[in-house]
Amino acid sequence: MAPIPLLPATLQDAQSVARLQAQSWRSTYRGMLPDDYLDHRVVDDRLEYWTTRLASFAPDRTLVLKAVSDGSMLGYVCVLLDEEPKWGARLDNLHVTPESKGTGIGYALFQAARDWIARVSPGTPMHLWCVEANRVARRFYDRQGGTIVESASRSFAGQPSVPEVRYWWPPLTGPATSAP
Ligand SMILES: CC(C)(COP(=O)(O)OP(=O)(O)OC[C@H]1O[C@@H](n2cnc3c(N)ncnc32)[C@H](O)[C@@H]1OP(=O)(O)O)[C@@H](O)C(=O)NCCC(=O)NCCS
């Protein structure tokens, strides 16, 4: 299969990114987040979030990359260089449509995120927070060689305390380092 094109997302993509995230959260977090939020509020909440974020991000400090096929967005990833920099760059979002899971899109986006970090900030590690009960994502990150470096209950999608784990990866290239 030909590699799926990965393109920078812009403010014009805010609605598509928000819809994809809402669809992915509904599919992934049912039972973990309140039904009322997932059924009625998640789309507007995500649209407000992405409209603000895509209107204001600095392209040299933030990456939002979309995977597009036949004009449809099938996945996206977001990386923030300045969120908890002691752990490196934060992979802040990685979502693939439920229908496209297992087709290599998540892997392509994940690798592109790591390549971007190595290019714009050589020697920088990568970290992310993953909901502890999100078994599918945790298996994916385990397979990508991530190390769980801490657990914490964090605010997530308006929920005050959701158990999460932090994954960490050393820089893609350069001297080996260990997690702080
Ligand atoms: C987690 C998620 C992004 C993974 O994306 P995906 O597109 O389903 O995953 P892929 O098809 O790329 O990868 C699946 C497997 O193939 C492997 N793979 C895919 N392409 C590959 C390639 N070219 N070379 C090597 N391995 C590859 C992956 O390592 C993975 O291995 P595994 O089956 O042993 O786990 C996806 O399940 C998702 O969107 N989940 C819902 C949202 C979510 O939970 N996001 C994370 C929030 S923290």
159-169 vs 147-156, strand pairing mode: antiparallel
Q: What is the whole-number distance in angstroms between the Cα of residue 112 and the centre of ligand 1? A: 13
Does 26 fall in a domain? Answer: yes
Q: Which atom of ligand 1 is nearest to the CA of 134?
A: 44
* For ligand 1, atom 2: residue with the closest CA: 106
Q: Which of 112, 111, 124, 179 is nearest to 150 (CA)?
A: 179
Does 18 fall in a domain? Answer: yes
pLDDT (tens, 9 = 90+) of the chain, 180 residues, equals: 678 999 999 999 999 999 999 999 999 999 888 999 999 999 999 999 999 999 999 989 999 999 999 999 999 999 999 999 999 999 999 999 999 999 999 999 999 999 999 999 999 999 999 999 999 999 999 999 999 999 999 988 878 899 999 999 999 875 556 677
* For ligand 1, atom 19: residue with the closest CA: 104
CATH number at residue 94: 3.40.630.30
Q: How many domains does the chain have?
A: 1
Helices (H), 29-171: 35-36, 42-56, 105-120, 135-143
Does 176 fall in a domain? Answer: no
Does 180 fall in a domain? Answer: no
CA–chain centroid gap for 102, Å, is 16
Q: Is the pTM of this model over 0.85?
A: yes
